[in-house]
Amino acid sequence: MESLLTLGKKAKQVERQLAQASSKEKNDALLSMSRGLLEDSDSIIEANKKDIKNAEKNGISDSLMDRLTLTTERIESMSQGLADIAKLPDPIGIVDSMWTNESGLKIGKQSVPLGVIGIIYEARPNVTSDAAGLCFKSGNVVILRGGKAAFHSNLAIVDSLRKSLSKGRLPETAIQLVEDTSRESANEMMKLNRYLDVLIPRGGATLIKAVVENATVPVIETGTGNCHVYIDQSAQLEMAKDIIVNAKTDRPSVCNAAETLLIHKDVAEEYLPVLEKALNEWNVELRADEAAGEHLTTFTPATEEDWETEYLDYILAVKVVDSLDAAMSHINQYSTGHSEAIVTNDYFTGQRFHREVDSAAVYVNASTRFTDGFEFGFGAEIGISTQKLHARGPMGLPELTSSKYIVFGEGQTV
Amino acid sequence: MESLLTLGKKAKQVERQLAQASSKEKNDALLSMSRGLLEDSDSIIEANKKDIKNAEKNGISDSLMDRLTLTTERIESMSQGLADIAKLPDPIGIVDSMWTNESGLKIGKQSVPLGVIGIIYEARPNVTSDAAGLCFKSGNVVILRGGKAAFHSNLAIVDSLRKSLSKGRLPETAIQLVEDTSRESANEMMKLNRYLDVLIPRGGATLIKAVVENATVPVIETGTGNCHVYIDQSAQLEMAKDIIVNAKTDRPSVCNAAETLLIHKDVAEEYLPVLEKALNEWNVELRADEAAGEHLTTFTPATEEDWETEYLDYILAVKVVDSLDAAMSHINQYSTGHSEAIVTNDYFTGQRFHREVDSAAVYVNASTRFTDGFEFGFGAEIGISTQKLHARGPMGLPELTSSKYIVFGEGQTV
């Protein structure tokens, strides 16, 4: 088992080679890794069975078991993911602006890889190939640290990816797995400033919090989503219903699902019973404040904790507000800054919501579920940033790049 | 004396008001602060005298004393700086791209302030108004923590700025000073994740290192510059001489000054004596490797430490290299990733240097001294980032912004 320091050194050794790889070299390698996963499907599933057996012994939850389990279809989808990444435009080497300064220097701002990216994640083995593919395409060396539960699966996936890489001209060590899944290795990784340029945690709120609080390596905080839908008094009932039902029930376990419904007092009496009926069809449990409870049949009284909670489940907090200002003030107090939506027919209300709500994605008359690299049209997603530095919102390939200034002179001095 | 927590809370309270301030409101306030500094010039100089008296007692160095001292001219220049910032385009509210996704949503990426910015700096009181002005213009609340040596000066400057602010409509607490200059308060500030969106250290290598190693708040690392000039065998002697003399001697105390000269072995014998003579006129001390020493009259033998050192002084390390590859490999090993220059007549050599050197600014045939927000044409500079996340190289107003996606829907659901 190699130490993190060794992995870090090896990563730095190949950093420049990968940064300068041509698009063709990278795409050929991605397609080779894509084919390799299919060829190694049986051995990956075999490794996954070990993880599942351990998980059964440890009695993990059904949803965790679902995330952990690999099938032929899931491996096909991982393989397809790599092939799709190969088709995306290369984000490296783009000079998006170039100008001439007062001294006649031509100054161009060119995209370059970040360098070495660390990914800390949990039980989903598909993150392994997905993150590896995106980092690779953007010319970054990646050091992956998956959760203990998926250890054998991750090892088999990385072995397969590296076997494919070894057939081409780019270095195998562009993709490395941390085999030590102890808490100590995670903590060590968070302080590996010498070898890591950035650390991206992908997983639940506890993991993200631990990384943000302990890391000295620059972190991109992702994916905690306490998202809100506010139904304004001018909202159309049908549209409001469609949006809240979609935002809550389309996939409750993901970060862009709605967790709190805010509704203007003037329409609470008319709309809430209709919304309750629609949400009942999905067995959504309601946690309501007093004013909302007056118009609901079945609910639990909401506590302060409910406004703060990312349920990731068929549960929805409901609150009646007196005004747009009250709604935005609630959102800005409790939101994690991920995605918020308003349903309104009023032009100025929409304008104010766009301007005054401080979240990565602010929607007028659409579901929060659209906050996603694929829905946005990026063709890829490494995560959804909820911090303001470097990247905010869905992160595609360009968000995995930095820049450098290339300057063309003819002898100029200051 | 208010605690950091109190300052943080107050900052967050006005964050949104400042973020939504119009360009006119912000510019009017900047011009008012600019005039105010002139009006308060006497009291600021009075306060500065206290700092100078303390500094004399503590026996600080001449260069530190120079940085600390305020004169009428320096205050005029600080005042002019604020007026200049008022004239720059507002970096907030720019939608630099907008598109329609598959579902017909219009998605725009709009610039917004980062939020609350912490600046940790040392003895230069002019940083106080400079950083305050840039943060203010970009809609960010700023919490300033200057060094103990400049405490009275900083307090007087911030008092003046806030007095001017209080005459307008924008909140005084947009600009706050940490009055506790103890090491503990610096450490507390580095972990103030709840209230600070980003921390920018400005100062010497020791300060920067302490912040990078201890902060859990996202940091933008600035200004450590171990910069290199490489003279290729095809370089024109005159141009090589002008560039190395300028890069070394124009202002040795700043981060974009050259610290190491690399020269190709084929021209070492002819060029080094000429370069030594030119550098002698500026009393530059040379620290040379053996091969370089053979062609120099007066020098100290270089040690490993010399390749690593940012002298910030009239000292230059000199090394003969066998090839472009050897030069780039030295640079990539020892550089802090700030600025590097090559002098060459060869097209392909220049291309390779641009591509393979991994620093914020890579020059072909120009002095490293151009790495500067004003020289680049940004009209402002908060610092020079030597990290890859968020911003790299000279940071102007756009680098003090984040973004949010504003989405215009018509009832879309996923």
Is A389–B387 a contact, with Cβ atoms under 8 angstroms apart? no
Closest residue, chain A, to B373 (C-alpha):
A101
Q: Are residues B245 and B109 in the same domain?
A: no
The pLDDT of residue A204:
82
Same domain, B231 and B156: no
Distance from CA of A219 to the nearest CA of B (A): 7
**Between A and B, how many CB-CB pairs are < 8 A?**
210
Q: Which helix (H) or strand (E) holds B326?
A: helix B324-334
CA B233 from chain centre, in angstroms, equals: 33
For the domain that residue B312 is a member of, what is the CATH number? 3.40.309.10
User: Per residue in B38-50, pLDDT tens?
Assistant: 999 999 999 999 9
Same domain, A32 and A92: yes
- Measured between beta carbons, the chain A residues lying within 8 angstroms of B111 are none
A377 falls within a domain:
no
Within a domain: A274:
yes
Pair A198, A247 in one domain: no
Decide if pLDDT at A68 tops 90: yes
Q: For residue B393, give how far its alpha carbon lies from the nearest alpha carbon of chain A (Å).
A: 7
CA-only gyration radius of chain B, Å: 24
Does B285 lie in the same domain as B213?
A: no
β-pair partners for B384: B394
**Chain A residues touching residue B407 (CB < 8 angstroms):** 361-364, 366, 370
Using the Cβ of A378 and the Cβ atoms of chain B, whether some distance falls under 8 Å is answered with no
Average pLDDT, chain B: 95
In a domain, B381, yes or no: no
SS percent in chain B: helix, strand, coil, step 5? 45, 20, 30
Candidates B217, B352, B414, partner chain A, best to mutate (most A CBs within 10 A): B414
The answer to whether the Cβ–Cβ distance between B366 and A215 falls below 8 Å is no
Mutate to test the interface with A, among B13, B117, B406, B410 (most CBs of A within 10 A): B406
Mean pLDDT of A117-121: 95
Residue B352: the pLDDT is: 97
Query: What is the domain count for chain A?
Result: 2
Is A376 a domain residue?
A: no
pLDDT for residue B204: 82
- In angstroms, the Cα distances linking A178 to A23, A128, B363 are 27, 12, 38
A residues 203-232 lying closer than 8 A (beta carbon) to B: 212-216, 218-220
pLDDT band of A1, cuts 50, 70, 90 = confident
Put simply, the answer to whether B389 touches A115 (Cβ < 8 Å) is no
Query: Which of A169-178, A379-388, B290-299 has the weakest average pLDDT?
Result: A379-388
Query: Rounded to a whole number, what is the largest CA-CA distance in chain A?
Result: 79
| β pairing state of A95-100 and A106-113 | antiparallel
Query: Helix A23-39 and helix A41-58: axis angle, to 10°?
Result: 70
**Contact residues, chain A, for B379 at CB < 8 Å:** none
Write the DSSP symbol of residue B124. -
Cβ burial B347-364 (10 Å sphere, 16+ → b, else e) = eebbebbbbbbbbbbbbb
User: With 90 as the cut, is the pLDDT of residue B212 above it?
Assistant: no
Nearest to A105 among B198, B366, B412 (CB): B366
Q: Is A332 close to B16, i.e. CB distance below 8 A? A: yes
What is the three-class DSSP state of B100?
strand
| Cβ of residue A199 closer than 8 Å to a chain B Cβ | no
- Flag whether residue A83 sits within 8 Å of chain B, measured between CB atoms: no
Q: What pLDDT does residue A413 have?
A: 97
- Mean pLDDT over B229-250 rounds to 98
Report CB contact under 8 Å: A361, B114. Answer: no
Chain A residues near residue B103 by CB distance under 8 angstroms: 366, 370, 375
Predicted confidence at residue B203, as pLDDT, reads 84
**Contact status, residue A160 vs residue A44, Cβ threshold 8 Å:** yes
Residues A328-345: what's their mean pLDDT?
96
The answer as to whether A306 is a domain residue is yes
pLDDT of residue B13: 94
* Nearest-angstrom CA–CA distance, A199 and A382: 12
Q: Among partner residues A369, A390, A409, which is closest to B390 by beta-carbon distance?
A: A390
The residue length of chain A stands at 414
> Is B184 within a domain?
yes
Residue in A101, A115, A404 nearest the CB of B377: A101
Structure tokens at B376: 């680049």
Residues, chain B, total?
Answer: 414
Specify whether B199 is located in the same domain as B250. Answer: no
Together in a domain, A162 and A238: no
Residues contacting B304, CB < 8 A, separation 6+: none
- Are A360 and B405 within 8 A, CB to CB? yes
B247 contacts in A (CB within 8 Å)? Answer: 413
User: In this predicted structure, what is the pLDDT of residue A396?
Assistant: 96
Instruction: Tell me if A388 and B103 make a contact (CB, 8 A cut-off).
Output: no
Q: What kind and span of H or E run contains B327?
A: helix B324-334
Whether A412 sits inside 8 A of B365 (CB atoms) is yes
Same domain for A200 and A72? yes
Residue B231, classed as helix, strand or coil, is strand
Q: In B311-338, which positions are buried (b, 16+ CB within 10 angstroms) versus exposed (e)?
A: bbeebbbbbbbeebebbbebbbebbbbb
**Rg (alpha carbons) of chain A, rounded to whole number:** 24
- CA dist., res. A341 & res. A243, Å (int): 9
Residue-wise pLDDT tens digits, B276-335: 999 999 999 999 999 999 999 999 999 999 999 999 999 999 999 999 999 999 999 999
Q: How far is A342 from chain B (nearest CA, A)?
A: 10
**pLDDT interval class at A94 (50, 70, 90):** very high
Model confidence pLDDT, tens digit, residues B355-405:
999 999 999 999 999 999 999 999 989 999 999 999 999 999 999 999 999
ipTM comes to 0.94
Among A250, A361, A413, the residue with its CB nearest the CB of B242 is A413
pLDDT of residue B66: 87
| pLDDT confidence of residue A61 | 84
Q: How confident is the model at residue B191 (pLDDT cuts 50, 70, 90)?
A: very high
Which domain, by its residues, includes B206? 4-221+387-408
Angstrom CA distances, A134 to A152, A175, A189, A396, B183, stand at 22, 11, 20, 8, 41
pLDDT digit string (tens) for A4-53? Answer: 999 999 999 999 999 999 999 999 999 999 999 999 999 999 999 999 99
Structural domain contains residue A158? yes
A384 within 8 A of A220, measured Cβ to Cβ = no
- Is B112 within 8 Å of A242 when comparing Cβ atoms? no
Do residue B408 and residue A361 have CB atoms under 8 angstroms apart? no
Dist. CA B30–CA B24, nearest whole Å: 10
Q: What percent of chain B has pLDDT over 70?
A: 100
Closest by Cβ to A404, choosing from B213, B362, B365: B362
Q: A142: which residues sit within 8 A by CB, 6+ positions away? A: A116, A117, A118, A119, A131, A132, A135, A136, A174, A175, A176
Identify whether residues B264 and B309 lie together within a single domain: yes
Interface contact B402-A392, CB threshold 8 A = yes
- What rounded mean pLDDT belongs to chain A? 95
Per-residue pLDDT at A206: 87
User: Of the candidates A218, A220, A370, which has its C-beta nearest B414's C-beta?
Assistant: A370
A388 CB near a chain B CB, below 8 Å?
Answer: yes
Residues B356 and B397 in one domain: no
- For β-strands A95-100 and B258-264, DSSP reports them as unpaired
B407 with A358: Cβ contact below 8 A: no
pLDDT at A67: 87
Given a cut of 90, whether residue B223 has pLDDT beyond it is: no
List A residues 317-336 in contact with B (Cβ-Cβ < 8 A): 332
Q: How far is A346 from chain B (nearest CA, A)?
A: 12
H or E segment to which residue B228 belongs: strand B227-231
- Please write the tens of the pLDDT for every residue from B48-84: 999 999 999 998 888 788 889 999 999 999 999 999 9
B234 and B212 in a common domain:
no
Is there a contact between A413 and B367 if contact means CB atoms under 8 Å apart?
Answer: yes
Q: Is residue A414 part of a domain?
A: no
CATH number (domain holding residue B26) = 3.40.605.10
Phi, psi of B28 (to 5 degrees): -60, -45
How many other C-beta atoms are found inside a 10 Å radius of the C-beta of residue A398?
16
Q: Is B410 on the interface with A (CB under 8 A)?
A: yes
Four-point Cα dihedral A310, A314, A315, A318, nearest 10 = 100
- From chain B, the residues in CB contact with A414 under 8 A are 246, 250, 367, 369-370, 375
Of B197, B356, B413, the CB nearest to A242: B413
Residues A322-350 have a mean pLDDT of 97
Q: Do B364 and A409 touch (CB under 8 A)?
A: yes
Q: Can you state the percent helix, strand and coil of chain A, rounding each to 5?
A: 45, 20, 30
Separation CA A298–CA A286 (nearest Å): 7
Q: Are A57 and A113 in the same domain?
A: yes
Point out the residue among A358, A366, A409 whose CB comes nearest to the CB of B412: A366
- Tell me how crowded residue A206 is: count the other CB atoms within 10 A of its CB: 10
Residues of A in contact with B367 (CB under 8 A): 409, 412-414
